[in-house]
Amino acid sequence: MTQETEAAGLTVDELAARAGVTVRTVRFYSTRGLLPPPVIGPRRVGRYGPEHLSRLALIEELQHQGLTLAAIERYVQQLPPGLSAEDHALHRALVATWVPDAEAEVSRAELERRAGRSLTDDDVARLAAMGVLERTPPGAGAYGARPGADGGGDAFRVDPAVLHLGVRLLDVPIRLETVLAARDVVQEHSRAVARELTRLFRDEVWEPFGEADPDPEQVETMKSLSAHMQPMVVQALVTAFQRSMKAELRASFPADRPAE
C-alpha cells in the first residue's frame, strides 16, 4: 500500500484486515461509539484512517488488561476528541505498561496482511534491523508459517506492538542508520533510568521495609506495591519526556528564528 492509498483511507474490509479483527467487530465497535465515524467518500463508502487503526489497537490492549466492554466505553468516552494515531499509540503504551506483548509467528502472507501492504525483501530487512521482526528457521513450526503453505517458506516472529510503527517508518525519508541510532539512544537511556529507579526502590523502599529473611507475605506485598507503581512511573516518564522534547525543539528551532 502506497502513501497515497494510505492517505486516501481504508475501506472497512481493509481496516479489519489491518487490525486483525472481523468486519462485524468493527461495525459493532462503531455502533457502541468506540470508533470515530469514518469519512464518507464517493458512492457513500466509509473511509478509515490511521487513527481508527490505532483506536482498535488501544481497544485490544484494554481487553488484554481484562477491562469489560462497559469499562472500555467509559475509558474511550474520556478521551479528548480528534486524537491522532500517535496520541492513540501513546495511550496504548501507557495502558500496556510492563505487560509484554506475546510475539506472533507468521508466514510472509500473514505478515503482509497485518502490515496492510506488500513488503519487498528490502522492507523486511529494514523491519528486521529495527527489531520489529526476525526470520525464523525453516520448519520451526511457526503458526501459519509452514514451508510452502502460502507459496513460500518464509516465516517470521513479529512483535505486534511495534509492527504498525515499523511499517509507517518504511515510508519516512530517514536513513535506516538514523532510525537505529535513535533506537539505541532510547534504549541506552531508558535502561539507565530503569536501573536508577530500581536502585531507589531497593534502597529506599525494600530494604527499610524488608528484613534479612522476609516472610512470603512481605515479599508478595512488595511485589504488589511494585506492580502498582510501575504504570505511574511510566506515565511520569512519558510526560517528562514530552515536556523535555518540546523544550528542546523550541530551543533548537525557535518560532522567531530569522530565515537564513
Q: Which residues pair with 47 in a beta bridge?
A: 39
pLDDT tops 80 at residue 129: yes
pLDDT at 48: 92
Contacts of 207 (CB under 8 A, 6+ apart): none
Joined together, the cell numbers standing for residue 114 give: 497485518
pLDDT tier, 228 (very low <50, low <70, confident <90, very high otherwise): low
- Could you tell me if residue 138 is left (phi over 0), alpha (psi between -120 and 50 degrees) or otherwise beta? beta
Cα separation, 6 vs 20, in Å, equals 17
Per-residue pLDDT, averaged over 99-115, amounts to: 76
Residue reference for cell 530565515 = 259
Give me the torsion for CA of 119, 121, 122, 125, rounded to 10°: 100
Domains and CATH numbers, the chain: 3-95 (1.10.1660.10), 104-169 (no CATH), 176-252 (no CATH)
pLDDT at 167: 84
Residue that wins the pLDDT comparison between 111 and 141: 111
Per-residue pLDDT, averaged over 44-49, amounts to: 87
Per-residue pLDDT, averaged over 170-181, amounts to: 85
Indicate the range of 40-44, 47-51, 141-145, 156-160 predicted with least confidence: 141-145
Give me the torsion for CA of 119, 164, 13, 21, rounded to 10°: 120
